[in-house]
Structure 1
Amino acid sequence: MATNERIFVQAIRSYGARHGIDVDVRADGWLIAMRRGDMRRFAFGYDIGLNSAIAHRLANDKSATSEALSLQGLPYIPHHLFLNPKLGRNVVGPDWREAMLALLHDHPQGVVVKPNEGTSGRSVFKVTTPTQLDRAASEVFSMSTGLVISPYIAIEDEVRVVLLDDAPLVVYSKQRGSDWRHNLDAGAKPVLLEDGATRSACVTLAADAARAIGIIFASIDVVRVDGAWRVLEINSGVMMEALGKLHPELVQATYDAALDRVFRNEG
């Protein structure tokens, strides 16, 4: 096994070796073909292939997730969509910049600008001035067909819940470092949550969010703002690289459970 492989890839290799599944890793680990007899399944990125196409697309679209949660009356952090002006005036409309500035005006504490799709906190900007807003929008539009703007809020705690069929397999908080973000790639540390009121509240909200878009296997980020929990985002690809370095057995068991579901393996 290559030592530089992602933990996700290593976990699938391990599962395959223990269950008689041929594992063929392609594209530097981003495409994985799994075969047992006549059954073939694929993993792509961090998506293990359990979710429907529409659930996957909703989860990967921050604006769509926000709208779906709103329809269910769940507490969430709003994400306002703006399409790349390169798509054309007929698609984007003439007043997109004015609408961005209006959001900034309505939130003098600042707003957060980030790609509508994507993970790991890349190209995420906190802005408080029109100049910063233009710079952030230009950066995001240079690599994305759309961006979202959400109000900057003081997040007291952030918790990630990994669910499989509504069952919480992993629940941990993200302990922020010196950065204002709680992203693990930005230096936050994962800390497993013990049973208690906080864990119970986060699991309940995460399960409600998963049902709102019909997703089976996902990691759901919830945040506490002014003492109340809200959904931040839903991730169809379940990435546990940072957690896997601290709790490899737990991460392997989580992927094992998901792969059991993929292959309908009861033993």
Structure 2
Amino acid sequence: MINGERAFVSAVRKYCASHGIDVELKAEGWLIVMTRGSSRRFAFGYDLGLNSAVAHRIANDKAATADVLEICDIPCVPHTAFLSPRMYKYIVPTGAWTAMLDLLKQNPQGLVVKPNEGTGGISVFKVRTEPELEVAANEIFSSERSLAISPYVEIEDEVRVILIDYRPIAVFSKNRLAVVGDGKRSVLELAIATIPAARLSSVLSGQAGDISKASLDEVPPAGRRHALNWRHNLGAGAQAVVLEQGDARAAACIEIAVKAARSIDMRFGSIDVVSVDGAWKVLEINSGVMMEALNRSHPELVDAAYAAALDLVFDPGTNA
């Protein structure tokens, strides 16, 4: 997608057009300059500038986020950061690899390895063996300065809460693509027969390791639901389903999301909350609010969320 065609840019343009604000795109669409009279504001990437630099840096660092949440006694999925060998001057003498292997031994169910800074589910690996861990680490370190490792947990449900000044603006679950077995056809055959080609393609064309050939060849028993992907990322084929006000899941997720946002003084951001063994935990915090996938099904909600944030950008006294 061309940067200037992002839903974020479209929403900013709509808001500015209705409020007499001039808009200019720079840096191939990543930098947006908004001018009204003598007042000038900037947006970069998906950041509107409402959060402090410290809040933004913590939210952008998965391990730092987990550390803060643990300090504040907020349930979360733990993340441990490891620096690339290129950063050898800052690595403890024992090295990172030994510590990574120790985590693997401590978590026989597996680990999730991902860039410590980054969004969108890019370069996220589930590993269970030392060779798999080595491949994942090398892949990530080829382009990143650090990675984060968390224990693999069976996520029963994942919900994203978007907050502005600790008030929910949008709450939606991330529903993974799945098929229901008939006892006769393989997972792949069921998927081809029941899932629209565009959505199925987004999963089957994902990164190596997300879906194994053995998984696709499996024949699920009749009536059993089989998720096609272990990840809940919208970019990996999951569908955004908005939760209505009064939904019990929404209320529980909003409560923990607000605590998480307050722990780092984040005014505008999204919090991913997951259900593990029946308990809600924070998975990640994002200070840059990206809603490209949600825009495909609920563009009016996306425009309203960004408009509420822009109200605060241009009129700080506004109650979002």
- Scaled to the shorter chain, the TM-score interval is over 0.9
Which of 173, 187, 190 is the equivalent residue of 2:240? Answer: 190
After TM superposition, the score normalised by the length of structure 1 is 0.96
Deviation of 1:92 (Å): 4.6
2:63 paired with 1:82: no
Contact (CA 8 Å) 1:83, 1:92: kept in 2 or not? no
Contact (CA 8 Å) 1:162, 1:169: kept in 2 or not? yes
Pairwise mapping of residues 230-249 of structure 1 onto structure 2 (< 5 A)?
230-249=281-300
Contact (CA 8 Å) 2:4, 2:28: kept in 1 or not? no
RMSD of aligned alpha carbons: 1.6
User: Greater CA radius of gyration, 1 or 2?
Assistant: 2
Deviation of 1:28 (Å): 2.4
Structure-2 residue corresponding to 1:174: 174
Q: Which amino acid aligns with 2:144?
A: S
Contact (CA 8 Å) 2:4, 2:29: kept in 1 or not? no
Pairwise mapping of residues 16-95 of structure 1 onto structure 2 (< 5 A)?
16-95=16-95
Deviation of 1:196 (Å): 2.2
Deviation of 1:4 (Å): 6.8
DSSP-derived class of the 2:5 partner: coil
Q: Which amino acid aligns with 2:234?
A: L
CA distance in 1, matches of 2:82, 2:164: 32
DSSP-derived class of the 2:91 partner: helix
Deviation of 1:136 (Å): 0.4
Structure-2 residue corresponding to 1:11: 11
Deviation of 1:94 (Å): 3.0
Map Cα deviations across residues 157-211 of structure 1 (whole Å, 9 max, x no partner): 0000000001100000000122110000000000001222211000000000000
Deviation of 1:6 (Å): 0.5
Map Cα deviations across residues 4-39 of structure 1 (whole Å, 9 max, x no partner): 700000000011100011111112221101111111
Deviation of 1:91 (Å): 3.3
Instruction: Between 93-102 and 65-74, report the one with greater CA deviation.
Output: 93-102
CA distance in 1, matches of 2:109, 2:158: 20
Distance 1:3 1:85, change over 3 A: closer
CA distance in 1, matches of 2:235, 2:140: 18
CA distance in 1, matches of 2:55, 2:22: 28
CA distance in 2, matches of 1:156, 1:139: 28
Contact (CA 8 Å) 1:43, 1:49: kept in 2 or not? yes
CA distance in 2, matches of 1:92, 1:23: 48
Map Cα deviations across residues 146-165 of structure 1 (whole Å, 9 max, x no partner): 00100000000000000000
Deviation of 1:93 (Å): 3.1
2:185 paired with 1:135: no
Structure-1 residue corresponding to 2:190: none
Which of 207, 226, 233 is the equivalent residue of 2:258? Answer: 207
2:286 paired with 1:221: no
Contact (CA 8 Å) 1:160, 1:222: kept in 2 or not? yes
Structure-1 residue corresponding to 2:309: 258
CA distance in 2, matches of 1:233, 1:189: 18
Map Cα deviations across residues 63-86 of structure 1 (whole Å, 9 max, x no partner): 110001011000000000101111
CA distance in 2, matches of 1:158, 1:147: 22
Q: Which amino acid aligns with 1:236?
A: S
Q: Which amino acid aligns with 1:48?
A: L
Deviation of 1:3 (Å): 11
Deviation of 1:220 (Å): 0.4
2:122 paired with 1:122: yes
Gapped regions of structure 1 (runs ≥ 5): none
Identity, in percent, stands at 58
* Structure 1 residue runs of 4 or more that deviate by more than 6 Å after TM superposition: none
Q: Which amino acid aligns with 1:159?
A: V
Map Cα deviations across residues 210-259 of structure 1 (whole Å, 9 max, x no partner): 00001000010000000000000000000111111111111101100000
DSSP-derived class of the 1:88 partner: helix
Gapped regions of structure 2 (runs ≥ 5): 178-227
DSSP-derived class of the 2:23 partner: strand
Q: Which amino acid aligns with 2:46?
A: Y
Number of residue pairs aligned between Structure 1 and Structure 2:
266
CA distance in 1, matches of 2:14, 2:47: 17
